[in-house]
Amino acid sequence: MALRNPISQLTTRASPATISKLICLPSISSWKQNNAVQSRSFATPVPPVTQDATGSKGPTAMVFMNMGGPSKTDEVGDFLSRLFADGDLIPLGRLQNYLGPLISKRRTPKIMKQYAAIGGGSPIRKWSEYQAAEMCKLLDKLSPETAPHRPYVAFRYANPLTEEMYHKLLADGFGNGKGGRAVAFTQYPQYSCSTTGSSLNELWKWRQRLEGKSAGASDILSSANDGTIKWSVIDRWPVHPGLVDSIALNIEDQLATYPEDVKKDVVLLFSAHSLPMSVVNRAGDPYPAEVAATVYAVMQRLKFSNPYRLVWQSQVGPSAWLGAQTSHTVENYIAKGQKNLVLIPVAFTSDHIETLYELDEEVIGESGHKDTIKRSESLNGSPVFIQALADIAKAHLESGESCSSQMGLRCPGCKSERCAESKKFFAGQEIGRAGAA
Amino acid sequence: MALRNPISQLTTRASPATISKLICLPSISSWKQNNAVQSRSFATPVPPVTQDATGSKGPTAMVFMNMGGPSKTDEVGDFLSRLFADGDLIPLGRLQNYLGPLISKRRTPKIMKQYAAIGGGSPIRKWSEYQAAEMCKLLDKLSPETAPHRPYVAFRYANPLTEEMYHKLLADGFGNGKGGRAVAFTQYPQYSCSTTGSSLNELWKWRQRLEGKSAGASDILSSANDGTIKWSVIDRWPVHPGLVDSIALNIEDQLATYPEDVKKDVVLLFSAHSLPMSVVNRAGDPYPAEVAATVYAVMQRLKFSNPYRLVWQSQVGPSAWLGAQTSHTVENYIAKGQKNLVLIPVAFTSDHIETLYELDEEVIGESGHKDTIKRSESLNGSPVFIQALADIAKAHLESGESCSSQMGLRCPGCKSERCAESKKFFAGQEIGRAGAA
């Protein structure tokens, strides 16, 4: 599989501007200025620890949840069949079991070609495993009490699946009467029921199958001391200053490639995966508003240096989706004579088919203006981003919270019993605070 | 006309918590902490000035733009006919001149009853005139160089209309060969082409009629020294810390009315006027994302004390609008057993029919839970809000900018020539900086 950005080449790919910024780490001080609520101290020196040193509250499993993608083209069929079987992502109601396989089978050859075009598979597994491992190393230093932090990846539609991750957790000595602490850390910065919500429902399902005495609510209260894993959830982090900073740095790198006289008029197009309007309107999914919050925070960090718009990509099928669509927007701006555009992936943190194929090959590749329409890098191996992940995790471990108060609130129009039970389970976990006596 | 909150009773209506907060003015220091980019210094002592003292760059006309509302029930017909004639707000295409009058005539009796129910008219004129006058007093102290600041109100659909305001400006000694400076200050915190955009197009139209030598673009460049009014625009301020603080203070006042044991579980429902999906999807209107930015900033200010959702109100007609709808959301939460709700007006700053009738009488009044479903106050005469307006205006006068770089960017799908010309005019105005030598 050919990665666009092999991890080993990370430092050679970073621009001089980025490297100097990384060395000086201005991001950390600016996080604090810009965002007193969310910033955390990095400055406290801590004694060196290794992955083998165990703090008073360690070890801690750090489980990165994401949708995943096929690592090889022959995994595309399985990937799509899981994706279209997921009623949280693509609600087909009673027809799910019938229509899901039909649609996925029909789309498989086309999507296989797309994965072939980006090098034979999605890089999301490599990036996720790299990000999780690197974050855990930082976290061992930042939060020695909960060390060692063990990295796990759980994908919703590709290997390693949630089931595989859970079996690994049990084999590694978590649960099975031995208790232990695990953090489900969503890698979607903004919460949607169709992404993070779906991953949590899947995690809850496997937890009940592999650790629950019954699938009912009765075991929730007793789970504190019964030797099962204590779960907590990092369910959203849309404006964490490190996320914002890492996106902004990548935008600045792209802006630096334009001639000085046009630079300030380059239009920034933040592009997020769209949602069907049925999800937005009926259920009141929080995702569009949280994506908008990310975009506004990035523009504040950039001091509104350029005009911008938030647009939405990857719409499929005939029903109404949230827009304006990324591809239409690019076409419309070209028609208006505005050909200096930077596309910015804002809702996924690693490269995947929607950046490498849809944006790079289709939207940019077919625009006729590949020289002036560009894309900012995905966060992938960005050290600023990985530092941000560690900061978010540290704050969570210190908070003693099982999840955000926002996660406990169901969408107004939600009818899913699975969602209700899953939320009740995670919100009901009693978690001790790291740092508390 | 009976105002719900007569201005004279402002101090008696404010809760003790609000009053103590206002006296201590914690908001100002917290603005700086929370938002280094937008905060401005208030601490510099300035010599006292009066409305008659003229600074080196004064006088300055401060024009508050808003949609307006009928002050008496017999103005409802005219108000609605102007509203449905506005293609920026309600795009009916070629049928505008035919359908507009039909719809407005049909709706007039119903809307007259609604205005009768809230005391016979909209309080928006009184509030706007009060806010503008009070802000100008503060601004005279904060920006003596551009003093005196003269308050004007220009409504899009009710008296005083833009035309009336412009004639008043000319009569007061602005323009007509004498030049002078005017600031078009939108009172919609978040920019939409259907609100601020429409008001600016109307302002541009009357400027061309009353001051333009021609309606073409040729006079734009020569306008700097031809004795016409120099216009600049404050086109959006969705996360100004003073706006955020004033909304948050009103929410805290409502939360304080709930028993301590349920307080943290009260659901905050931020409610903004919706838009047709045709505007959202085809044109890429920036409004939904900016409203979401306001909501997120308020929640940061509240330290995410409560679960919340952003919902959308006032949908009319059969076409698709952005949701989830406020009324449906309230019904759905009641059905789920969640009856502690605070509705928060987040896109209008003064009371109007959508708060006083739609939220108070319909959504809350008909919910069957008037004791636990409440509404936070509109900003109206809030001193923290008026201080924020002065701070925004001062920063604008110091910036030397004619408008934001964001305003210059047309929506990707926009086909309006009026919009293109209006934006070109305002972005092309050359404005001197207050505070510059």
Contact A324 B412 (CB under 8 A): yes
Beta-bridged to residue A284, according to DSSP, are none
Mutate to test the interface with B, among A37, A236, A243, A315 (most CBs of B within 10 A): A37
Nearest-angstrom CA–CA distance, A147 and A139: 8
DSSP states of B7-68 as a string? GGGHHHHS-HHHHHHHHH-HHHHHHHHH-TTT-----S------TT---TT--EEEEEEE--
Contact B406 A310 (CB under 8 A): no
Contact A284 B238 (CB under 8 A): no
Two tokens, residue A436: 């508390």
Q: Kindly list the residues from chain B whose CB atom is less than 8 angstroms away from the CB atom of residue A292.
A: 288-293, 296
Report if residue B17 sits inside a domain.
no
Report if residue B257 sits inside a domain.
yes
Whole-number pLDDT of residue B32: 45
Contact A282 B33 (CB under 8 A): no
Contact A306 B405 (CB under 8 A): yes
Contact A289 B292 (CB under 8 A): yes
Q: Which residue of A has its CA nearest to B335?
A: A412
Q: Name the burial class of residue A372, with classes exposed (0-12), middle (13-18) and buried (19+) by CB atoms within 10 angstroms of its CB.
A: middle
* Nearest CB to A304 within list B332, B404, B410: B404
CA distance A288 to chain B (A): 8
Contact B409 A309 (CB under 8 A): yes
Q: Which of A359, A375, A391 is the last residue of a domain?
A: A375
Q: Which of B55, B86, B117 is the last residue of a domain?
A: B117
* Nearest CB to B324 within list A292, A325, A412: A412
Q: Which of B86, B149, B391, B396 is catalytic?
A: B391
Q: Which of B240, B273, B352, B396 is catalytic?
A: B240
CATH code, domain carrying A258? 3.40.50.1400
Report if residue B225 sits inside a domain.
no
Report if residue A164 sits inside a domain.
no
Dump strand ranges (E) for B120-216: 149-155, 181-186
Contact A281 B329 (CB under 8 A): no
**Ranges of chain B whose pLDDT falls below 70:** 1-53, 213-224, 435-437
Peptide bond into B160 cis (omega under 30): yes
* Nearest CB to A307 within list B267, B283, B406: B406
| Spatial strand order in the sheet of B308-313 | B308-313, B267-273, B341-345, B373-375
The residue segments making up the domain with residue B291 are 241-375
Q: Kindly list the residues from chain A whose CB atom is less than 8 angstroms away from the CB atom of residue B267.
A: 409
Nearest-angstrom CA–CA distance, B1 and B18: 27
Do B154 and B165 touch, CB atoms closer than 8 A?
yes
Report if residue A365 sits inside a domain.
yes
Whole-number pLDDT of residue B45: 41
Q: Kindly list the residues from chain A whose CB atom is less than 8 angstroms away from the CB atom of residue B333.
A: 412
Q: Kindly list the residues from chain A whose CB atom is less than 8 angstroms away from the CB atom of residue B288.
A: 288, 292
Contact B309 A408 (CB under 8 A): no
**Ranges of chain A whose pLDDT falls below 50:** 1-30, 32-51, 214-223, 437
Whole-number pLDDT of residue B426: 95
Whole-number pLDDT of residue B23: 36
Whole-number pLDDT of residue A432: 77
Do A118 and A355 touch, CB atoms closer than 8 A?
no
Whole-number pLDDT of residue A221: 43
Q: Kindly list the residues from chain B whose CB atom is less than 8 angstroms away from the CB atom of residue A281.
A: 320, 322-325
Q: Which residue of B has its CA nearest to A330?
A: B412
Query: If you search the block for the tokens 């770089």, which residue do you land on?
Result: B405
Report if residue A96 sits inside a domain.
yes
* Nearest CB to A284 within list B280, B324, B412: B324
Q: What is the pLDDT of residues B374-431, one digit of tens each?
A: 999 999 999 999 999 999 999 999 999 999 999 999 998 888 899 999 999 999 998 8
Whole-number pLDDT of residue A231: 97
Chain A to chain B, count of Cβ pairs less than 8 Å apart? 150
Q: Which residue of B has its CA nearest to A292?
A: B289
Report if residue B351 sits inside a domain.
yes
A 10 A CB-CB count for B243 gives 26
CA distance A394 to chain B (A): 18
The total number of structural domains in chain A stands at 2
Contact B34 A36 (CB under 8 A): yes
Query: If you search the block for the tokens 């105002």, which residue do you land on?
Result: B3
Pick from A118, A13, A186, A75: nearest CA to A351 = A118
Residues A97, A99, A103, A106: is their CA dihedral positive or negative?
positive
Q: Kindly list the residues from chain A whose CB atom is less than 8 angstroms away from the CB atom of residue B277.
A: 277, 320, 323
Structure ipTM? 0.86
Do B406 and B286 touch, CB atoms closer than 8 A?
yes
Report if residue B44 sits inside a domain.
no
Whole-number pLDDT of residue A421: 94
Whole-number pLDDT of residue B11: 36
Mutate to test the interface with B, among A405, A419, A424 (most CBs of B within 10 A): A405
Q: Which of A375, A397, A424 is the last residue of a domain?
A: A375
Q: Kindly list the residues from chain B whose CB atom is less than 8 angstroms away from the CB atom of residue A38.
A: 300
